[in-house]
Amino acid sequence: MAYHFLDHTADVKFVAEADTLENVFIESAKALQESICGKITILEQQTKEIHVEGTGLENLLYKFLEEFLVLLDSEDFLLSNVKTIEIDQNSFKLKATISGDKTENYKFTNDVKAITYNEMFVKFNEEKKLWQTQVVLDV
């Protein structure tokens, strides 16, 4: 399970891979968190439960990642860890328990304005036997 960043002219682009759909969503959240504040440890001072629904896997990933930007902007909450996650692939519903801390305790490396659909995908790679996502963040 891992993620890595790809070259992009103006924005931040990453690919994540994992053995399960749930784990690739977690890896995508980690990549988003690193895009916001670099490779630092965020304390687990608060726990929250989030619920999102989509119309497909890409839309579900978009809404999942967007939820972290909403929490950042509206509640000054910075993600530390996705503790649990459940994804219903038939109804495209996601429930997760996350932990994090207040933003006032950290410095930001990028101002991530939005998650985009540009070049986004969520797929199972049969050759590698891994789930993969690709996301471009508007910074």
Tell me, what CATH number does 66's domain have?
A: 3.55.10.10
- Looking at residue 130, what is its pLDDT? 98
Query: Which DSSP state fits 23?
Result: H
Half-sphere exposure for 86 (CA within 13 Å, toward CB): 7
In the chain, which stretches have pLDDT less than 70?
1, 10
**pTM listed for this prediction:** 0.94
**36 is in which domain, residue-wise?**
2-138
Residue 91's pLDDT is 98
pLDDT (0 to 100) of residue 1:
64
Q: In the prediction, which pLDDT does 108 show? A: 87
User: What confidence tens digit (pLDDT) does each residue in 80-91 have?
Assistant: 999 999 999 999
